[in-house]
Structure 1
Amino acid sequence: MDKTLLLQQVLTHLQADLEQAHQAALSAHETATHEENVAENKYDTLGLEAAYLASGQARRVEELRQTLITWRQLRLRPFDENQGVELGALVQLLDAHDQVRWLFLGPQGASMKLQHAGQTIQVLGSAAPLGRALLGKVPGDQISVPMAGAAQDFEVLSVE
């Protein structure tokens, strides 16, 4: 699989999310500042609620902008067995039910699923429990991660 293409897909997805959030923030700001939403009495809170929404949308835009910057700075390197799994690794796992999973490990903030080369690839950050557990691992290593109240066991099959 081509990690460069995967990274490009992540960046495209994040850019689309940023644009959508930006439009939502603009819409919320327009609603909050529209003359029809000026409070007529102390119980009229539509303008205040719209302002809270606009503030939250603006924070979301900034978070996405920072995530996009961080992912753009990610440098993909070939797997080095001495380093083990690190950011930018494409990892193939086998779970306890003999299901194979592909994971693309990167900086935080971009949890998504992608389709690539006929496979579903889960993108996750190194701050996620599974991401943390994978750091430094090599093919053949076993990991156990608490998920949904129970431990999930995985074997690292391959790393690219």
Structure 2
Amino acid sequence: MDKLLLQQQVCQRLEADLAMLLAAADLARQAATHEESKAENKYDTRGLEASYLAAGQSRRAEDIRRALAAWRALQMRAYDDASGIQLGALICLADAAERQQWLLLGPDGAGLKLEHLGLEIMLITAQAPLGQQLLGRGPDDEVQAGAAAWRIVTVE
């Protein structure tokens, strides 16, 4: 599989999320400062709520900017037996029933799902419990995810 293509897909998804969030934050900011948002009495909190929303969206936009910068800076390397699984690794796990799960270990963006060659690939980070277990491991090693044991089938 082409990990550089996967990296580009992650960046494109993050860029799209960022653009959407910035537009939403701008609308919330406009709503917070619009004259119709001025409180008519002490119970009227429309303007205050819109300003809280805008602030939250701006913080989330910063998180996405950091994730995007981390993904752009990530050097996608081929798997090396000597160092084991590292950031940028594409990992196939199998459970006892031989159901497979594909993971891309990245610097940020956990939970994002990609579709590539008919496979669903989920992003995880090294900070996640499963990500911590995977670091340094290799094919045929086992990891625990919840109550289930998973075998590392392949690493790219």
- How far off is 1:61 after superposition? 0.8
Which residue in 2 is equivalent to 1:43? Answer: 43
Which residue in 2 is equivalent to 1:60? Answer: 60
Which residue in 2 is equivalent to 1:153? Answer: 149
Which residue in 1 is equivalent to 2:72? Answer: 72
8 Å Cα contact 1:14-1:110 kept in structure 2: no
8 Å Cα contact 2:91-2:154 kept in structure 1: yes
3-state DSSP class of the match of 2:98?
coil
Alignment partners' CA distance in 2, 1:110 and 1:93: 17
Alignment partners' CA distance in 1, 2:68 and 2:144: 30
8 Å Cα contact 1:10-1:110 kept in structure 2: no
Which residue in 2 is equivalent to 1:83? Answer: 83
Q: CA RMSD in A?
A: 1.1
**TM-score, normalising length: structure 2:** 0.96
8 Å Cα contact 1:86-1:135 kept in structure 2: yes
**TM-score, normalising length: structure 1:** 0.93
- How far off is 1:129 after superposition? 1.8
Alignment partners' CA distance in 2, 1:39 and 1:97: 60
Alignment partners' CA distance in 2, 1:135 and 1:79: 12
TM-superposition CA deviations, 1:108-151 (whole Å, max 9, x none) = 234211111221111222212221111111001011133xxxx2
- How far off is 1:98 after superposition? 1.6
8 Å Cα contact 1:67-1:110 kept in structure 2: no
Runs of 4+, deviation exceeding 3 Å: none
Look up the equivalent residue of 1:155 and give its one-letter code: R
8 Å Cα contact 1:106-1:123 kept in structure 2: yes
Which runs of 5 or more structure 1 residues have no equivalent in the other structure? none
3-state DSSP class of the match of 1:82?
coil
3-state DSSP class of the match of 2:18?
helix
